[in-house]
Homo-oligomer: A and B are copies of this chain.
Amino acid sequence: MTIRVVAKNYVKPEKVQDFLGLCKSLVEVSLKDEGCIDYGLYQELENSGVLTFLEEWKDEKSLDQHLNSSHFKEIFPLLSEYLEKETEVNVYRKTL
């Protein structure tokens, strides 16, 4: 059973381009992580400051490995300075 992650970021309007620049390498490297099925950054149609990672992982173990990877641990803390508040993360399993 795969795991789906929704990680929602409220980015300061003047920092969206900087945020995207940092996320580019995170997305590229994470797509190569073991057990990564899908990983992308998405922008809200009605609020361009809402930028959300939508991810799919083979299982919880592969998500844990991603969260403990050097690329995640290096880049994720840097993102916080561009945010208006803390990232909202939800991890899901398919029900229907």
Contacts and interface: CB of A to CB of B under 8 A. Distances in A.
Contacts of A46: 91
A16 to B, nearest CB: 10
A96 B9 CA distance: 14
B92 A20 contact: no
Interface string A41-59: 1111110001110100000
Given A4-B42, A6-B6, A92 B54 contact: yes
Contacts of A52: 6, 90, 92
B45 A95 contact: no
A87 to B, nearest CB: 14
B42 A92 contact: yes
A23 interface: yes
A45 to B, nearest CB: 5
